[in-house]
Amino acid sequence: MEESRYSGFSESPRKRCCGWGTRLALLGLATAALWAGLLSLLLMWHWDTLRSLRLLQETTARNVSHLSKDLQRHQHDQMAQKSQAAQMLQNMEELRAEQKRMKSQDSELSGNLDGLQADLNNLKAQALNERRAAADVVARLQEEVAKLRVELQLSKGAACDTCPEKWVHFQQKCYYFGDGAKKWLHAQYACEDIGGRLVSIHSAEEQDFLSKRADWQGSWIGLQDLDREGQFTWMDGSPMGYSNWYPGEPNNQGQGEDCVMMRGSGQWNDASCHSKLDAWVCEQLATCGPPATSTPKGPPGTTLSLDLDSCLPTPSAPRHPSP
């Protein structure tokens, strides 16, 4: 029993040693397995990292290539833009030079145009003055012809004393005494509208006749120095011969007095043509009636006949100049 008891005690440590060895072996295997798994994971991570790095490198290379191409394209565009900007600057300089040239030409053309316009205005003024002078000559000729007609009719024994209604006869002329506030030029228009003109006074007898019938506040008459200061002419074109100025007149007072009025006393006074008077006096030649019947003397079998009227021009209708 003692041997068996001792033998039991001797086997127990051996068994324990075998159990610890197994455990250690298992622990070593587990450790090796863990290290193997860890290495596998590390290898897999390394491979994934390498693959990711390759992909990143490839992506980076592609991006760098794209960026390089974009940069080259941008540089090319920038160079093209610089070239275009230089061309635009050159075009702008050319346009500025052309604009300066056109301004110079425009200034020259404007000067030429102004010169042509001035020449045209001078020609128009000259033509208008010539037309007015010709019209005045024609009017004077018609006046002389009309006077000759009256003298011829008088020489034939005709009575030249017929006047239109509301006109007054005196010495082969008819006079109309108008009323209503008018300026001198408008009074002349009013006389033309009824076939006459502002009166021209050539004798003391005519002045005395008008003084007895003129408006006491003053009337416009056909005397003026509009063309040349101090050189008075009548509307019939004749220069002033007879005169009946009020003492101290004409004096061209104030802003200019170029038209003549007849005071209530009959004396004359120069006044502003823009002033309004309530009366004016018009005149026209009287109309001659048929001559007395008589037998002309001449050789037997002949008949004398003289008709000056058929040879004389017919007076034209009066025209109003521009006021």
Q: Where are the domains of the chain?
A: 160-288
pLDDT at 312 over 50: no
d(CA 124, CA 116): 12
d(CA 33, CA 27): 10
Domain spanning 160-288, CATH class? alpha beta
Give the pair of three-digit tokens for residue 59. 């992506």
Q: Are 130 and 122 in contact (CB under 8 A)?
A: no
pLDDT of residue 143: 67
pLDDT level of residue 181 (50, 70, 90 thresholds): very high
pLDDT digits (tens, 9 = 90+) for 141-178: 666 676 676 667 666 666 788 899 999 999 889 999 99
pLDDT of residue 301: 39
pLDDT of residue 147: 64
Which pTM was predicted? Answer: 0.52
pLDDT of residue 142: 61
Segment 289-308 mean pLDDT: 46
Q: Are 317 and 227 in contact (CB under 8 A)?
A: no
pLDDT of residue 74: 86
Segment 290-315 mean pLDDT: 44
Could you give the C-alpha distances from 4 to 1, 11, 309, in angstroms and in order? 5, 11, 200
Give the pair of three-digit tokens for residue 5. 């008891």
Torsion, CA 127, CA 132, CA 135, CA 140, rounded to 10: -140
Ranges 40-49, 74-83, 130-139, 255-264: which has the least confidence: 130-139
pLDDT of residue 2: 46
pLDDT at 79 over 80: yes
pLDDT at 20 over 90: no
Q: Which of 147, 139, 192, 193 has its CA nearest to residue 171? A: 147
pLDDT of residue 135: 65
pLDDT of residue 144: 64
Ranges 35-39, 207-211, 240-244: which has the least confidence: 35-39
pLDDT of residue 12: 55
77-81 LR contacts (CB < 8 Å, sep 24+): none
